[in-house]
């Protein structure tokens, strides 16, 4: 009897410990979600609600126009066209986003990261240099660069949450498709996030953090504000 009880207890414990229901929380789909103690409030964790399935149509799962470039991002030398839940409602809860990017010659997609998604890129036209940084576990003052020169048909991947970049090293526009395994990948441009925050980080903090003087910090603010 004791042995039967021990085996039963062990089996139940193993099931609970390995059950995905108890093992982890789902990844967040937004940057912040402040708790609100209001029973009358509507809560949109995904930012979207679902329509009655009986009202869904094929158009909810369709997008056209990825064959042409999108809207230019001022000052950064590239244009973007995004296929996400906002223009293809059927993507809601599926965890997929697709972006077309056109990068001008000799311009860089700035150092940035996506907190909620791995990014896989395919280059369609042009030549580019792509890379991402992995922290060195033996020395947190250093990182390891993984980089490749990409030509049409090449595919490269940026792991979730890691800082990466994309540089058009050619003399004509380069075109890419970006695939994200998230409905809302997030987009954090490192220099703009630091030097153009609102309210701003104090010059003293930035000067100490980057080991620069305040004149140099002021110049960086001008470039990224």
Write out the binding residues for Mn(2+).
112, 114, 119, 164
Residue 188's CB: how many other CB atoms inside 10 A?
Answer: 14
Q: CB under 8 Å, gap of 24 or more: what pairs does 190-199 form? A: 190/110, 190/111, 190/112, 190/113, 190/163, 191/110, 191/111, 191/220, 191/223, 191/224, 192/110, 192/224, 194/224, 195/220, 195/221, 195/223, 195/224, 195/225, 196/221, 196/224, 196/225
DSSP 151-175: -TT-EEEE-TT--EEEEE-SSS-EE
- The binding site consists of 112, 114, 119, 164
Residue with tokens 């030549």: 127
- Distances from the Cα of 64 to the Cαs of 67, 106, 196, in angstroms? 8, 29, 35
- The binding site for oxalate consists of 114, 119
């Amino acid at each position: 009897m004791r042995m039967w009880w021990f085996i039963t207890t062990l089996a139940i414990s193993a099931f609970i410990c390995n059950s995905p229901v108890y093992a982890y929380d789902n990844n967040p789909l937004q940057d912040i979600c402040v708790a609100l103690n209001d029973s009358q409030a509507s809560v949109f964790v995904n930012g979207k609600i679902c329509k009655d399935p009986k009202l869904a149509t094929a158009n909810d799962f369709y997008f056209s126009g990825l064959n042409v470039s999108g809207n230019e991002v001022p000052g950064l030398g590239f244009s973007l066209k995004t296929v996400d839940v906002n223009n293809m409602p059927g993507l809601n809860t599926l965890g997929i986003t697709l972006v077309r990017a056109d990068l001008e010659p000799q311009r860089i997609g700035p150092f940035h990261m996506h907190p909620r998604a791995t990014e896989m890129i395919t280059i369609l036209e042009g030549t580019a240099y792509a890379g991402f940084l992995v922290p060195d576990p033996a020395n947190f003052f250093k990182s390891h660069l993984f980089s490749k020169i990409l030509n049409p048909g090449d595919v490269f991947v940026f792991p979730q949450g890691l800082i990466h970049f994309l540089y058009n090293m050619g003399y004509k526009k380069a075109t890419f498709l970006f695939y994200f395994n998230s409905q809302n990948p997030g987009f954090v441009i490192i220099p703009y996030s630091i030097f153009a925050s609102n309210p701003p980080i104090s010059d003293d903090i930035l000067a100490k953090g980057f080991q620069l003087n305040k004149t140099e910090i002021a110049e960086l603010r001008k470039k990224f504000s």
